[in-house]
Structure 1
Amino acid sequence: MNQRPIAVTFRATLIATLAAAGLVSGMPLAHAANKPSSKPPAEKTVEAATAPLPANAVARVNNVVITQAQLDDAVRASNAPDTPALRASVKNQLIARELFRQAAEKQHYESRPQVVAAVEQARTVAMTAAYLRDQVKPAPVTEADVKAKYDAIVATLGEFEYKPSAIAVKDADTAQTVLTQLKKGTDFAQLAKQYSQGPGAAQGGALNWISFKTPIQPGTTQNWPQPLAEALVKLPQGGVSSAPVQIGDAFWILRVDEKRATQIPQYDQIKDALRKQLEQLALQKATAQVVVDLMKNARIQQQ
């Protein structure tokens, strides 16, 4: 293999490589697959300069081989179209990273406190992740579970669904100021951006479509506070709350932007999303159980 083009393209793209050092954060270090040689440094240097590249190699940096498999992995990690130009660029990044590693190792950077701490943190993260993969056993989600979830959601839907906007403020005086401005014709979205501390404030208070079975019963409000749900269904399309609704320490003003007959998606349209939701809940439940089990035999002190 001709090694001269490697050196030429490396020099030409080194600056770009440095600027894009984080481009392929998952890129494996070239030395990881190679064992250190026991030969003296001078002999290793001569060997590296004269010996042909192994069949599975795309480059060698001093005595460290960069393999075709490492290049393939790095190209995949870039999430970019696999082209000859990309491969040349990524190979140069691998070469640069190996040069950096060797230079840092030569100056004993591995013993610096911040490097030792980073290595320990990475070790802890990898060890914990491996432990959780082995110990957390979420219950499988069946098709019956998904269908039951779908049926339960449909059972909470009413005849109509609403596209609301909301302004939530922290005190009654501010709520009254907002209501006064609305009566004067000030734009609801403008006031939401100015005053609201609730969801959707940056979008003018706009919220997602919601539907409630009426009369509203506890537990059938799609996680909305029941007083808000009751206030919303009493408003006509375009209607605005005549008085703020207090929920805890917040005062809410609602507007119904749109109102229509409830549109229930077909089961096949949303079953995949529901399955993912149930699988996430199962994972959270299983993880919580592992924590509970560990805490039974642990001594934990807190302030």
Structure 2
Amino acid sequence: MATPLSAADFLAALRAEGVKVVEVGNWRTHNRNHKGAWGPVHGVIVHHTVTAGTTNSVQICRDGYTSLPGPLCHGVIDKTGVVHLVGYGRANHAGGGDPAVLQQVIDESYGTAPSRPTKGNTNGVDGNHAFYGFECINLGDGKDPWPAAQLDAIERVSAAICRAHSWSAKSVIGHLEWSADKVDPKGFTMPDMRARIAKRLAGKPGTPTTPEENTVALTDADVKKIWSYPLANPADNNTTRQAGTYLRYADQRHNDLADQLDRIEALLKKLTDDKS
């Protein structure tokens, strides 16, 4: 149990752990606090987005949907390991979960994993007030890869918060460990991630990052301009295409090319191994 870190202390803790951070709009005051309490906090929940592309995913997690307003987390962890801060305070990320799991997290009393949750979003206790939340960009199909840089960022943000609150790695759980009707994150195991976090907590924080190197601070007005700015396409004279659409396309193409390169490198390695 702890009082939530201030936004400034939260950002400082991430930077001290070597996390690469991008500040999006008014993230420090973008929250759902008018719907209920934020805190006391007890831990961190890790999610996957079921989306592709950094720009698209960050926008969704910041703004949410008509039926589920944003922010949908505090930070979005992209495939390159950059953490995009989209909100701070109460966020629509944890939903309802198992009170028995909550108590185990508070007490840090379980073994390699909490007991399997028997309650979910509709019949569980509110988790939005009690957990920091990070959405990780992944399709959640068990096939979409988890790059090393992304896993490292999950480890670092979790360790940063645990270190700031004097928690152990057992204060970090996956959404599937909190709620009976959730499956995320899918593609790695939380016991393995907690082992990584525990190892990091046993040492000193990583090389600190600096605002000059890693932060792009945007106001709400900036964000709106980016998504609505008309972009002319010299190839087809299309002046109605929006910058947001173009950025999503470019980002997805970048990810597609990166995935292709990973597959080519894997094939080359296999060919080399077969010849050796």
Question: Taking structure 2 as the reference length, what is the TM-score of the superposition?
Answer: 0.25
Question: Taking structure 1 as the reference length, what is the TM-score of the superposition?
Answer: 0.23
Higher relative contact order, structure no. (Cα contacts within 8 Å, ≥ 6 residues apart): 2
| Structure of higher CA gyration radius | 1
Richer in helix (by share): 1
